[in-house]
Homo-oligomer: A and B are copies of this chain.
């Protein structure tokens, strides 16, 4: 029913996350309306990003130079390490412009149900970095979910014996949020972590 070249494009697009068959069709039809030059640029951007971007050999954040600009930036504090699941989390924390230390990207969280154990994450590499002796504090910024919490506890048990402080991001109400709509667990944690005014 669809011309073959179009069907192939729809099929390829529908393999992407968040893209169902209807969206894939819509995107493919949009591509046909784009100027040829733009389509070529998009195709090239795909191939080039895949070819050039690699995990940093120190922190495993995505980069096109190795080590990455964060690891080589002399203005960043080498004594504080923020451990995250994923490169997306590095980007989110960088957007907050609050953290001036360095990162370590685990590549996921421990999740027995998905068959992800500690050996599948970059925990060995993390411990090697900590053995360097420069790091005083590890902030575990894994996602505030069961898997992220389990990973944080696991890491804390490994790291504390090395004499390094291990911290976790605070739980509480999101800024600008509505108390009425907060779920009970978040609210309980917000009460628990209350501060003096």
Residue ranges of A at the interface with B (Cβ–Cβ < 8 Å):
1-6, 8-9, 11-13, 15-19, 23, 25-32, 34, 36, 38-53, 62-65, 68, 86-88, 91, 94-95
Q: Which residues of B contact A47 (CB under 8 A)?
A: 39-40, 43
| Complex contact A64–B3 (CB within 8 A) | yes
Asked, given contacts A26-B88, A88-B26, whether A8 binds B48 with beta carbons under 8 Å apart, the answer is yes
Q: Which residue of B lies closest to A86 (CB)?
A: B29
Q: Which residues of B contact A4 (CB under 8 A)?
A: 64
Query: Complex formed: what's the CA distance from A193 to B138 in Å?
Result: 69
| Complex contact B46–A50 (CB within 8 A) | no
Task: Determine the main DSSP class of A at the interface with B.
Answer: helix
Given A1-B94, A3-B53, 5 new contacts (CB under 8 A):
A17-B27, A26-B88, A32-B49, A39-B46, A42-B46
Number of copies: 2
Asked, given contacts A9-B46, A46-B39, A50-B36, whether A91 binds B30 with beta carbons under 8 Å apart, the answer is no
Q: 9 closest Cβ contacts across the A-B interface?
A: A43-B43, A3-B64, A9-B49, A5-B52, A9-B45, A39-B50, A12-B45, A5-B49, A43-B46
CB distance from A44 to the nearest CB of B (A): 7
Q: Which residues of B contact A5 (CB under 8 A)?
A: 45, 48-49, 51-53, 64
Q: Which residues of B contact A38 (CB under 8 A)?
A: 15
| Complex contact B94–A29 (CB within 8 A) | no
Q: Which residue of B lies closest to A1 (CB)?
A: B94
| Complex contact B31–A50 (CB within 8 A) | yes
Chosen A-B contacts, 5 in total, with CB atoms closer than 8 Å, are A9-B48, A12-B41, A29-B87, A32-B49, A43-B43
